[in-house]
Structure 1
Amino acid sequence: MRKISARRGSALLVVLGMLAFMTVSAVAFAAYMRRARLPSNYLRRATSSRELVKAALARAIDDIDHAVNDNPHPGLGSEAC
């Protein structure tokens, strides 16, 4: 009878050890993935900001083109006289 109870106790220790190892591994993996994701977030935000600036510049150039009515030299020529 004593050998059976000793085996049960050692099996419990093995299972608890494996469970603890898996828990520590999962927490370490989650922390690593969170840290590894930060540079991609920075890159995404930088790219998004750069594209927004390009769009704003294109819009400003288009507004200026419409304001001068496609006249390459506003204020010069027959209209200035």
Structure 2
Amino acid sequence: MTSKHVHETHPDIVKRLRRAEGHLRGVIEMFGDGRSCLDLAQQLHAVEKAISEAKRALIHDHVDHCLDAAANGSAKSAKSVLAEFKAISKYL
């Protein structure tokens, strides 16, 4: 069984994602209302940006807490920390 992996910033990230989820629902309704393509594209861009910012916050939090802790004395080797950083940085 996997233990929970929760950071101090996770609740804020979840709030961001819930707002983006509500925004996306609104955009879907806009399609049904026959809104202009320009309006739709603009709102989809805003949703995309909100999700991107949530992802960025998650990755920065991981680098600040998990990798920093690993690099400063945990059981992980420097090689392992570097590999983990490379793996997560591909999502930036």
Would you say same fold, with TM above 0.5? Answer: no
TM-score (norm 2): 0.38
Structure with the higher helix share, 1 or 2: 1
